[in-house]
Amino acid sequence: TKWVYRFGDGAAEGGVADVALLGGKGANLAEMASLGLPVPPGMTITTEACLFFFSKGKALPHDLQGQVLLALSDMERITGRTFGQGARPLLVSVRSGARASMPGMMDTVLNLGLNDQTVQALGHDSGDARFAWDSYRRFIQMYGDVVMGLDHEVFEEVLEDEKARLGHDYDTELSAVEWQHVVSLYKQVIEEELGEAFPQDCHLQLWNTIKAVFSSWTNTRAVTYRTLHKIPHDWGTAVNVQAMVFGNLGSTSATGVAFTRNPSTGENSLYGEFLVNAQGEDVVAGIRTPQSLTEEGRLASGSEKPSMEKLMPEAFAEFRDICHRLEAHYGDMQDVEFTVERGKLWMLQTRSGKRTTRAAMKIAVDLVDEGVITREQAICRIDPPSLDQLLHPTIDPRVERVVLGSGLPASPGAASGEIVFTAEDAVDAEAEGRKVVLVRIETSPEDIHGMHAAEAILTTRGGMTSHAAVVARGMGIPCVVGAGGLRVDLRNELLIGPGFTLKKGEMITVDGSSGQLLKGDVPMIQPELSGDFGRLMAWADEIRRMTVRTNADTPQDARAARSYGAEGIGLCRTEHMFFEGGRIHVMREMILAEDEAGRRAALDKLLPMQRSDFTELFTIMSGLPVTIRLLDPPLHEFLPKSAEEIIEVAAAMDMEPALLSRRVEALHEFNPMLGHRGCRLAISYPEIAEVQARAIFEAAAAAARETGAPVELEIMVPLVGLRSELDYVKACIDQVAADVSKETGLLQIGYLVGTMIELPRAALRAHVIAETAEFFSFGTNDLTQTTFGISRDDAASFIPTYQRKGIIEQDPFISLDFDGVGELIGLAAERGRKTRPDLKLGICGEHGGDPASIRFCEQMRLDYVSCSPFRVPIARLAAAQAAI
């Protein structure tokens, strides 16, 4: 097996395509060497060798040694040095390098190849004995720590004692002889602590270090990091063994790091720092203040210390040139490390640089303008969910966060306000012009007006599809749900957490992007949809195949969604319209009515309200498709719950509390999610569907008259499992349509009747249901709930445990379960289309705004996705990526 890949002197085995085998660092070193850039020669031992190592109880492959020795002799030839002996000793660095960057998580050893003989030779050869002994002690310290397992602190203590004894404050004050003494103290402490000597055999040093670096793949830090960043544990790390170059050989030597463009703004100017007469880890350690690379950077930082541009003009010019070449070659902003050894520039690393979303956007668009990448490539460079950062106010990253607690990041953005505990208080405060955060155990439809009035919402219970989460996302209000570490004491109006109690009226900040709750009023950065954003999104729109619609229930949502580029409404949940203002009273009247006549009387009052809502929605969406869904939730959701509320409502309705109470009881369900909801309501009380249909058609007629461009009307029946259910409700809708056309004198109102596919039976019987349905919209919230048999409102209490224990990877209510729920979708799409080839297919569950789920929808060739207004740009971008 080939375990070792060589690079250096303008050539390399392997390159950037071999990142899985060579790790990120190794692959890029090889690539740079092939480009003819000045890279110190070296070798990469593959990730396969690492996997072998672990599979064989930490033994190296028997044929590895020969390959390493061959590569080492190459390095000797190129550098004119010899490893472990001779007048010009070769020193090497041994570093880890995984496929994905895991900064600082694994181990590194520098200056390997020093012993009591080679240190002398190094001193002669470099003409700097102090440098040689300093390098030796650095090596012993790292080797002692990484390979021999002696705590780094032990060496620090020895050095501190010695400096105190000599009266030195800084390492730089130690002479060659003094460092030599530190070396002997280090060796002594190793013998004392471990009972074995520091090895003088440089080959032994090398083998032991290679093993130690492989082993560091499974250290606790690395394992935790991989778990957090979803990096597979079975990738393994490569090991890079490379000839050392020294930035600490006096004032013509230096070491530094740079980004080829500004990583926070994206501006096209070299951005970085360097240290004169220093080794790489000195920059990271932050002991000395680094200097700017460029004059521009120096002026911006107001530093007195000269820039590299001024101090080392030749090396800088070469470096700048290399940065341009790297960017052109990789087609992306790079994060590089370099060293200057006595005036000669060496490149030690390059990789694509981390950046803010704002910078990512600017860099991608600029690179297209510069002709470096295509529009498609630019689109794929942006992580769709990161667009959130651009669309909402975010917490100023410069301020310090005082975190009081955290929950699930249910709706992005951040906002501050006074704590209130009831919807009424939120409404009152808003009327007085005060900003509030509505804090609830969980929210219910009755809180809607308070949620509207609040700047942000916090609940201590519930998951990502809980009422608070869904509604807040729809409204674009920051929201954190399920903050289980906090307790709401409603009676005393207190929010209690570990070590604090907050009263009503105190300021807090909710960060719906991170899920954090912060103390006080925190400074924000306002969103700015700059030109780059607009241009990139326009390219995405050209490329994507699927349409992007929005889930919107109010004119406010609909307007916001259109401004974010929505191409219609995929779901209008009409029940949300019945909670607004005084309507809930009329709604209750209807529910409490004794008979159909009573119900119709109440419905007659609701009709004009619904009609005006729809007219407004249709006007805003003029010319675009709008899907209106008939009433879905069980009726008891509209009724008061607690004894106090019952008394209050009964009084308002001039009704016996006992009677109201009996009615509430009669409507009680053990399992409302699987109860009398959806089309079941329309079948029990067809007059409800009738009145809704009438409101819809009359509004459509009115809007068409007003705008001249009729909406593409789609009426959607929820929770259908049987074709006969849909037939029943459709007959009712068709009848109303006929009546309204006759009454309004319009020859014909165009509309489609379709259904949600949100029950497994509906998916299985799609070919039959499609005989009636003219479109399907996958309601993946309920479809996930019913396929898994997991209540969407209770999932949060155990899904995180499932994730932690590796039972499932993703919360299926957030990212579609392709294997199970996805199979039902695929099957329903196929069966439905077989019956009706032009069947319109979409998705309107929460997954419609999730990039991975959107990719799946593209594979299923759905016609559109529909998501909350603030996710529309994310969906536009994700749909474009899915189509590329």
Residue in the structure block whose two tokens are 């509604």: 471
Pairing of strands 487-489, 494-497: antiparallel
Two tokens, residue 719: 């929770």
Helix (H, G, I), strand (E, B) or coil at 623: coil
Q: Tell me the closest approach of the beta carbon of residue 411 to ligand PEP, in angstroms.
A: 15
Q: Tell me the closest approach of the beta carbon of residue 462 to Mg ion, in angstroms.
A: 17
What values do phi and psi take at 255, rounded to 5? -140, 150
Per CB under 5 A, which region of 168-176, 513-521, 555-563, 776-784 contacts Mg ion?
A: 776-784
For residue 197, the 8-state DSSP code is: P
844 binds, among Mg ion, ligand PEP, none (CB under 5 to 8 A by kind): ligand PEP
| Catalytic residue (choose from 392, 452, 467, 576) | 467
Residue closer to ligand PEP (CB basis): 130 or 680: 680
512 binds, among ligand PEP, Mg ion, none (CB under 5 to 8 A by kind): none
Instruction: In whole angstroms, give the CA distance from residue 473 to residue 453.
Output: 14
409 binds, among Mg ion, ligand PEP, none (CB under 5 to 8 A by kind): none
What values do phi and psi take at 6, rounded to 5? -100, 155
780 binds, among ligand PEP, Mg ion, none (CB under 5 to 8 A by kind): ligand PEP
819: left (phi over 0), alpha (psi -120 to 50) or beta: alpha
Q: Is the dihedral of CA 775, 780, 781, 783 positive or negative?
A: positive
Residue closer to Mg ion (CB basis): 674 or 852: 674
Q: What is the CA radius of gyration of the chain?
A: 34
From 148, 125, 147, 123, select the one nearest 134 (Cα to Cα): 123
Per CB under 5 A, which region of 60-68, 340-348, 465-473, 777-785 contacts Mg ion?
A: 777-785
* Catalytic residue check, 844: yes
Q: Tell me the closest approach of the beta carbon of residue 711 to ligand PEP, in angstroms.
A: 20
* Cβ-based neighbour number of residue 586 at 10 Å: 17
Residues paired with residue 242 on neighbouring β-strands, in sequence order: 42, 93
Per CB under 5 A, which region of 54-62, 205-213, 778-786, 828-836 contacts Mg ion?
A: 778-786
Whether residue 199 contacts residue 79, with contact meaning beta carbons closer than 8 Å, is answered with no
E strand map for 108-253: 108-112, 237-243
Whether residue 540 contacts residue 520, with contact meaning beta carbons closer than 8 Å, is answered with no
97 binds, among ligand PEP, Mg ion, none (CB under 5 to 8 A by kind): none
Instruction: In whole angstroms, give the CA distance from residue 431 to residue 427.
Output: 6
The string over 838-852, giving b where at least 16 C-beta atoms fall within 10 Å of a residue's C-beta and e elsewhere, is: ebbbbbbbbbbbbbe
Whether residue 602 contacts residue 593, with contact meaning beta carbons closer than 8 Å, is answered with yes
Residue closer to Mg ion (CB basis): 50 or 469: 469
- By CB under 5 A, what part of segment 725-764 binds Mg ion? 758
Residue closer to ligand PEP (CB basis): 278 or 716: 716
Residues paired with residue 487 on neighbouring β-strands, in sequence order: 496
| Catalytic residue (choose from 479, 844, 857, 867) | 844
571 binds, among Mg ion, ligand PEP, none (CB under 5 to 8 A by kind): ligand PEP
Residues in the chain: 884
| 637 contacts Mg ion (rule: CB under 5 A) | no
Longest dimension (CA), the chain: 107
Candidate list 263, 280, 412, 779; residue touching Mg ion; CB under 5 A? 779
From 6, 108, 27, 110, select the one nearest 352 (Cα to Cα): 27
Residue closer to Mg ion (CB basis): 779 or 849: 779
30 binds, among Mg ion, ligand PEP, none (CB under 5 to 8 A by kind): none
Q: Tell me the closest approach of the beta carbon of residue 876 to ligand PEP, in angstroms.
A: 20
Residue closer to ligand PEP (CB basis): 38 or 633: 633
Q: Tell me the closest approach of the beta carbon of residue 498 to ligand PEP, in angstroms.
A: 34
573 binds, among ligand PEP, Mg ion, none (CB under 5 to 8 A by kind): ligand PEP
Residue closer to ligand PEP (CB basis): 698 or 811: 811
Q: Is the dihedral of CA 393, 398, 403, 406 positive or negative?
A: positive
How far CA 403 is from CA of 456, 472, 506, 518, 696, in Å, comes to 16, 22, 15, 5, 47
Q: Tell me the closest approach of the beta carbon of residue 427 to ligand PEP, in angstroms.
A: 24
Instruction: In whole angstroms, give the CA distance from residue 188 to residue 183.
Output: 9
Q: How many binding residues for Mg ion (CB under 5 A)?
A: 3
Q: Which helix (H) or strand (E) holds 535?
A: helix 531-543
Per CB under 5 A, which region of 106-114, 243-251, 403-411, 773-781 contacts Mg ion?
A: 773-781
Candidate list 782, 811, 817, 850; residue touching Mg ion; CB under 5 A? 782
Whether residue 784 contacts residue 812, with contact meaning beta carbons closer than 8 Å, is answered with yes
Q: Tell me the closest approach of the beta carbon of residue 544 to ligand PEP, in angstroms.
A: 22
Q: Tell me the closest approach of the beta carbon of residue 866 to ligand PEP, in angstroms.
A: 8
Residue closer to ligand PEP (CB basis): 202 or 715: 715
Q: Tell me the closest approach of the beta carbon of residue 756 to Mg ion, in angstroms.
A: 6
Q: Tell me the closest approach of the beta carbon of residue 781 to ligand PEP, in angstroms.
A: 3
* Cβ-based neighbour number of residue 749 at 10 Å: 19
* Catalytic residue check, 233: no
Residue closer to Mg ion (CB basis): 320 or 676: 676
Q: Tell me the closest approach of the beta carbon of residue 755 to Mg ion, in angstroms.
A: 11
Angle at CA of residue 448, ends 444 and 452, nearest 5°:
145
Q: Tell me the closest approach of the beta carbon of residue 782 to Mg ion, in angstroms.
A: 4
44 binds, among ligand PEP, Mg ion, none (CB under 5 to 8 A by kind): none
Residue closer to Mg ion (CB basis): 758 or 863: 758
Angle at CA of residue 667, ends 666 and 669, nearest 5°:
110
Whether residue 305 contacts residue 288, with contact meaning beta carbons closer than 8 Å, is answered with no
Cβ-Cβ contacts under 8 Å for 387 (sequence gap 6 or more): 357, 873, 874, 877
Whether residue 541 contacts residue 598, with contact meaning beta carbons closer than 8 Å, is answered with no
Cβ-Cβ contacts under 8 Å for 85 (sequence gap 6 or more): 117, 118, 202
From 630, 610, 613, 620, select the one nearest 568 (Cα to Cα): 620
Cβ-Cβ contacts under 8 Å for 431 (sequence gap 6 or more): none
Q: Tell me the closest approach of the beta carbon of residue 850 to ligand PEP, in angstroms.
A: 12
Cβ-Cβ contacts under 8 Å for 745 (sequence gap 6 or more): none
Residue closer to ligand PEP (CB basis): 418 or 782: 782
Residue nearest to Mg ion (CB): 782
Residue closer to Mg ion (CB basis): 589 or 782: 782
128 binds, among Mg ion, ligand PEP, none (CB under 5 to 8 A by kind): none
Two tokens, residue 188: 């002594």
845 binds, among ligand PEP, Mg ion, none (CB under 5 to 8 A by kind): ligand PEP
- Interaction site with ligand PEP (CB under 6 A): 571, 573, 632, 758, 779-782, 844-845
260 binds, among ligand PEP, Mg ion, none (CB under 5 to 8 A by kind): none
Residue closer to Mg ion (CB basis): 779 or 851: 779
Contacting positions for Mg ion (CB under 5 A): 758, 779, 782
Q: Which residue numbers are catalytic?
A: 467, 844
